[in-house]
Amino acid sequence: MRPVVGKLAIIGQGLIGSSITRAVYERKLARETVITDADPKVRKRLLELGLGEARVVKTAAEAASGADMVIGCVPVRSYRDVVAEIAPVLKPGAILSDVGSVKQGIVLECLPLVPEGVHFVPAHPLAGTEFSGPDAGLPRLFVNRWCILTPPEGVGGDAIATARTFWEGLGSKVEVMSPARHDTALAITSHVPHLAAFSIFHTALAQEEEDHSPVIQFSAGAFKDFTRIASSNPVMWRDIFLMNREPVLKALRNFITDMEACARAIEAGDGDTLEKLFSVSRSTRRKVIEKEHISQQPDESADALKDTLFRPYSQGD
């Protein structure tokens, strides 16, 4: 494959950063790759690992200097400081990108710091595992996964096209959307599930304390799958919730409202409503797994649930 960029800088070599490094090497997407991490122990590990031909440097500014594309792979609350540090050394025409799980917050904090002539194309690869650090990276982490690009208004089409080609080069499918739409979608497909998975342990532990006997021990595959994401990094997720506050609160409010409607159906012994909800959910999920796409069959669409006890769809918020 022909290189997509000349000099690529990747700032941060955790799971995502080191996966990009490995993938770029495997697919020869850049002519030159420079990597760094704020943690000296990680930099030491990078030298031991020898990730392709990537050159390890000490600071973000060193890495970003003269780079054609810079990808920040740092905690969501660290982007502002990183951009402030590298802004003076970014060359005109460079593409500045990231992999953060929230987009409006990062755009808000970083866009004012981006120098004239530098193209800011924020990104979010929808990929990951519950592991962290430079050893955890996988070259195929992004294959067949979505990568969302959220360029602010005014960013040039060429820069967006280059970012698209880069992520497609990593094996991803690319979608361009506004930061607001990204944050709304991820709030319900990722952030609320993580919160529920974390929170249910608290609920179960409280039940154990109330009963003075084990509860969590008597769980099986269902609980294990539902809570797999509760093995994720607590600090990372704390920051995601704090930075994606409004969309998360809205999605959480909707999720709770719908769960309360389930409670009313159970209380009323309304088996029909429950069965209908469960059937639509199951068929929706089967479409997602098989095609990663929702096709709106008339009898399986959201319309089918409109006249149930649940929150009306079309109400403004």
State which of positions 46-85 bind a copy of itself (CB under 8 A).
none
Q: Which segments of the chain are extended strands (E)?
A: 5-11, 30-36, 55-56, 69-72, 95-98, 119-120, 123-125, 146-149, 173-176
Contacts with 204 (C-beta within 8 Å, 6 or more apart), sequence order: 215, 216
- Nearer CB in complex with a copy of itself: 114/148: 148
Q: How far is the CB of 207 from a copy of itself (least distance, A)?
A: 6
Number of amino acids touching a copy of itself (CB under 8 A): 105
Write the single-letter amino acid at 299: D
- Binder among 47, 84, 143, 263 for a copy of itself (CB under 8 A): 263
- Nearer CB in complex with a copy of itself: 25/255: 255
Write the single-letter amino acid at 154: G
Q: How far is the CB of 31 from a copy of itself (least distance, A)?
A: 30
- Element spanning 192, H or E: helix 192-211
- Binder among 47, 84, 161, 288 for a copy of itself (CB under 8 A): 288
Q: Is 116 in the site for a copy of itself (CB under 8 A)?
A: no
Q: Which of residues 266-285 bind a copy of itself (CB under 8 A)?
A: 266-267, 269, 271, 274-275, 277-282, 284-285
Applying CB under 8 A, the span of 21-29, 56-64, 110-118, 212-220 interacting with a copy of itself comes to 212-220
Nearest to 33 by CA among 45, 21, 46: 21
- Of how many residues is the chain composed? 317
Q: How far is the CB of 248 from a copy of itself (least distance, A)?
A: 6
Applying CB under 8 A, the span of 51-59, 78-86, 160-168, 289-297 interacting with a copy of itself comes to 289-297
Applying CB under 8 A, the span of 11-19, 48-56, 67-75, 186-194 interacting with a copy of itself comes to 186-194
Q: Is 213 in the site for a copy of itself (CB under 8 A)?
A: yes
Q: Which of residues 120-149 bind a copy of itself (CB under 8 A)?
A: 126-129, 145-146, 148
> Are residues 10 and 20 in contact, defined by beta-carbon separation less than 8 angstroms?
yes
**Bridge partner residues of 11 (DSSP):** 36, 72
> Are residues 9 and 34 in contact, defined by beta-carbon separation less than 8 angstroms?
yes
Q: How far is the CB of 66 from a copy of itself (least distance, A)?
A: 34
Sign, CA dihedral 56-60-66-72, equals positive
274: helix, strand or coil: helix
| Number of CB atoms found within 10 A of residue 262's CB | 16
Q: Is 158 in the site for a copy of itself (CB under 8 A)?
A: no
Q: How far is the CB of 93 from a copy of itself (least distance, A)?
A: 30
Q: Which of residues 221-240 bind a copy of itself (CB under 8 A)?
A: 221-232, 234-235, 237-239
- Nearer CB in complex with a copy of itself: 69/277: 277
Write the single-letter amino acid at 138: L
The Cα–Cα gap between 141 and 27 comes to 13
